[in-house]
Amino acid sequence: MTETKNQSVWKNFIHLIRQIRLPILLIGIAFLLNFGKAEIELLIPEKIADLTGFEFTGTGSAAVKTAVSICIMIFVLAAVEFVGVMAATYITYIAKARINRDFQAVAARKVFYLTTEEAEARDPKEFISRITTDTGFVSDFLIDLLVMEIPRLYFLVSTLIKVSRMGNGMLLLGFVLVVPVIVLGSFWSGHVTYKSQTRLQNAIARLTARLAEKVEHAEIIKAYNRTEDEIADGEIFIDEMRAAQKKTTLATAFNQLVANVLFVVPTLIIMTAGALQLIAGDISTPQFVAYYGLGATYQKYIAEHLTLWVLAKKAQGATRRISGILMLKEDRGGERQTAGSGDLTFENVSFSIGGKKILSDVSFTVKNGSKFAIVGGSGAGKSTILNLLEQFYRPEQGRITLGGVDIRDFEIGSYRSLFSYLPQNAPGFDGTVRDFLCYGSGTPHSDEELKELLREVDMTESVEAMGGLDFEVGPGASKLSGGQRQRLAVARMLLTGAGTVLADEATSALDFEGSRRIASLIDKYAAGKTRIIVAHDLSTVQDADMILVLNKGRVDGMGTHAELKETCPAYRRLLTAGEEETA
Ligand SMILES: Nc1ncnc2c1ncn2[C@@H]1O[C@H](COP(=O)(O)OP(=O)(O)OP(=O)(O)O)[C@@H](O)[C@H]1O
Ligand SMILES: [Mg+2]
């Protein structure tokens, strides 16, 4: 997974925050509540100190009455603090959940807009854990920073001012000495946390990616009797995660130890400084009590500040990883709205993936409203041509134009809406048959209309046997047969009704008869529209206005069926192979 190494992590963090809408009101309320809490915590030690300054002369005396009223005040303050803390915790939780939701939405949105090249350059399944867990670390840190840190600093600074007002250098020194101890400790545990957490997050990402891939294709694993091997291979990832977890557990234990040391050592420092001054008679008992009371909370706040540092370290790695995704190129295209129809032209297009040449110097023109076929052996580059037309990829050299305009100049959404695209293998998503059919069509369709379409693709009986349009097709439309999926995909493509049809092996899963029926159905529905048809069954495209013969990414011939039969040996070979297949 790419991580942005050179950019400052803080710049990335700010950039990340600017992409979301902060719940300002909730944050404001929680902030004020925490501020109030700090204020009360500053007050209580002084009130307790006041209690120690009385000379009690008997029950009912003025001193006792004052003492009781001070006790009541302390009780009320503590109760208010308790309720305030509960409210603050709840509101902070809601604010954090909102922030996290926004981060997840931003990252998920980005993943969907990535160019295919960017997505393919890494394992897209690793994006999952970036979105599900890394975002949480960033939210944890951000909310602590926004809601808690300033009240905390306010308490710390106010305490130092209060202690310095006691006019005793030794007391102040005690408080100041505490700081380097805690800062050093927190730096150290932050570093340990960062390292172990980064390792764990990477291990989680790899394990998630692997499970997502292998579980999805469990049948292949079973068919090849590879179950035990896959389990053994998978355990490497599980072990990797276990090792990473061991490190994070050690880091947590280490942090606990540091936290304990950070409690004991500062307590000793503060106690010693106070006690020495008390014994020397340089401060009074009430002063000592106030000093010590403030000291206990002072330490607690500094320890919480340490937590912020640990959170920052976790967020640092997570920010890097999320920003690594956010920095990738998006698939938005240009500004221009498409003018609609026009001739589609490939001008000397070459294209490679990962250094491997896939298309070399490919040129052709698809006349507006014509039927254009692309034929060629497996791996010749037929699907790649459709992928370039859909702008999933961009040419490395040369250009593709529509009506004379480079397709890159068009706004991508308006450009893609020109096409009814039928991808190879007719993939589908979880949902009903109705959802499958209407995916992307944009307008509602009546049951009658859908049933008419099912009749056209010879699916009436099959869908009725499934229980109708509300039948759930399962994840990846896995409850449909390959042929059923292909027929429904053709129906879906026809329903889209866009001006240009891009059909990649629309009938490859169908038998001879079925293939021809569906091919002529596409012709009937799309008559007068531009049709770019990739076909291995050459009989379905013999009537095409133009046939492009591809061979290993190069154009081997172009012309009508009659012309190619005369002039193109590669086309004749394909014809012969097709005849043998159907014989
Ligand atoms: N994402 C990818 N990464 C790397 N190479 C790829 C990728 N997609 C396709 N290729 C390679 O590009 C070449 C052309 O693939 P393409 O899918 O366009 O072939 P095709 O003509 O559609 O073949 P088929 O008839 O088998 O569908 C193949 O050699 C394939 O290995
Ligand atoms: Mg293909």
Answer yes or no: is pLDDT of 298 > 80: yes
**369: CA distance to ligand 1 center in Å?**
27
Atom of ligand 1 nearest to the CA of 377: 25
380, 282: one domain: no
CATH number at residue 133: 1.20.1560.10
Report pLDDT for 59. 67
Are the beta carbons of 120 and 136 closer than 8 angstroms? no
Atom of ligand 1 nearest to the CA of 424: 27
Residue 448 lies in a domain: yes
458, 314: one domain: no
Residue 6 lies in a domain: no
Which 3 state secondary structure label does DSSP give 509?
Answer: coil
Residue 12 lies in a domain: no
Residue 505 lies in a domain: yes
**375: CA distance to ligand 2 center in Å?**
10
Q: For the chain, how far is it from start to end, CA to CA, in angstroms?
A: 50
Residue 27 lies in a domain: yes
**548: CA distance to ligand 1 center in Å?**
17
Report pLDDT for 432. 94
Q: For residues 433 and 474, what is the distance between their CA atoms, to the nearest angstrom?
A: 10
Q: Are strands 397-402 and 405-406 parallel, antiparallel or unpaired?
A: antiparallel
Handedness of CA 393, 394, 400, 403 (dihedral sign): positive
Please enumerate, as own/partner, the contacts of 509-516 that have beta carbons within 8 Å and a separation of 24 or more: 509/426, 509/481, 509/482, 509/483, 509/485, 510/483, 510/486, 511/483, 512/537, 512/582, 514/458, 514/483, 514/487, 515/540, 516/540
Report pLDDT for 2. 40
List ligand 1's pocket residues with C-beta within 6 A. 120, 353-354, 356, 358, 376, 378-384, 424
Are the beta carbons of 517 and 536 closer than 8 angstroms? no
167, 301: one domain: yes
353, 359, 389, 486, best to mutate for ligand 1 pocket (most atoms within 8 Å of CB): 353
122, 234: one domain: yes
Per-residue HEC secondary structure of 365-413 comes to EECCCCEEEEEECCCCCHHHHHHHHCCCCCCCEEEEEECCEEHHHEEHH
354, 255: one domain: no
**551: CA distance to ligand 2 center in Å?**
13
CATH number at residue 549: 3.40.50.300
Token pair, residue 197, equals 């957490």
**384: CA distance to ligand 2 center in Å?**
7
Residue 306 lies in a domain: yes
DSSP one-letter code for 336? B
352, 271: one domain: no
Domain boundary among 326, 357, 384: 326
Mean pLDDT over 356-384 rounds to 95
Answer yes or no: is pLDDT of 58 > 80: no
Query: Which residues, listed in sequence order, are joined to residue 410 by a DSSP beta bridge?
Result: 336
Residue 233 lies in a domain: yes
Q: For residues 461 and 487, what is the distance between their CA atoms, to the nearest angstrom?
A: 13
Protein residue closest via CA to atom 25 of ligand 1: 378
Are the beta carbons of 334 and 185 closer than 8 angstroms? no
Q: For residues 456 and 439, what is the distance between their CA atoms, to the nearest angstrom?
A: 18
Across 37-41, 79-83, 178-182, 427-431, least confident range: 178-182
Using 50, 70 and 90 to split pLDDT, how confident is the model at 1? very low
Protein residue closest via CA to atom 2 of ligand 1: 353
Q: For residues 230 and 69, what is the distance between their CA atoms, to the nearest angstrom?
A: 73
113, 50: one domain: yes
Domain boundary among 268, 294, 326: 326
The model's pLDDT over 484-528, given as tens digits with 9 standing for 90+, comes to 998 999 899 888 878 899 999 888 878 888 888 888 888 888 888
Q: For residues 384 and 398, what is the distance between their CA atoms, to the nearest angstrom?
A: 15
Regarding pTM above 0.85, the answer is: no
Which 3 state secondary structure label does DSSP give 527?
Answer: coil
Q: How many CB atoms lie within 10 A of CB 364?
A: 17
pLDDT cut 90: percent of the chain above it: 48
383, 537, 552, 574, best to mutate for ligand 1 pocket (most atoms within 8 Å of CB): 383
382, 387, 388, 505, best to mutate for ligand 1 pocket (most atoms within 8 Å of CB): 382
Query: Among residues 349, 418, 405, 390, which one has the least CA distance to residue 116?
Result: 390
pLDDT cut 70: percent of the chain above it: 97
Domain boundary among 261, 291, 326: 326
351, 322: one domain: no
Q: For residues 466 and 459, what is the distance between their CA atoms, to the nearest angstrom?
A: 11
**Helices 62-113/135-143 angle, 10° precision:** 150
DSSP 534-560: E-S-GGGGTT-SEEEEEETTEEEEEE-
Which 3 state secondary structure label does DSSP give 118?
Answer: helix
Protein residue closest via CA to atom 17 of ligand 1: 383
* Average pLDDT over all residues of the chain: 89
Q: For residues 259 and 193, what is the distance between their CA atoms, to the nearest angstrom?
A: 13
Report pLDDT for 387. 94
201, 287: one domain: yes
229, 352: one domain: no
- Looking at the structure of the chain, the number of domains it has is 2
DSSP one-letter code for 338? P
Protein residue closest via CA to atom 16 of ligand 1: 381
b vs e for 174-201, b when ≥16 Cβ sit within 10 Å of the residue's Cβ?
A: bbeebeeebeebbeebbebbbebbbbbb
Residue 4 lies in a domain: no
**437: CA distance to ligand 1 center in Å?**
27
Atom of ligand 1 nearest to the CA of 385: 18
425, 497: one domain: yes
Query: Among residues 295, 329, 369, which one has the least CA distance to residue 115?
Result: 329
Are the beta carbons of 107 and 325 closer than 8 angstroms? yes
> 520: domain range?
344-582
Q: For residues 72 and 69, what is the distance between their CA atoms, to the nearest angstrom?
A: 5
Q: For residues 32 and 15, what is the distance between their CA atoms, to the nearest angstrom?
A: 26
Amino acid at 3: E
222, 365: one domain: no
Q: How many CB atoms lie within 10 A of CB 117?
A: 15
The model's pLDDT over 201-258, given as tens digits with 9 standing for 90+, comes to 889 888 888 888 888 888 889 888 988 999 998 899 999 999 999 999 999 898 888 8
297 contact partners, CB below 8 Å, separation of at least 6: 41, 45, 155, 159
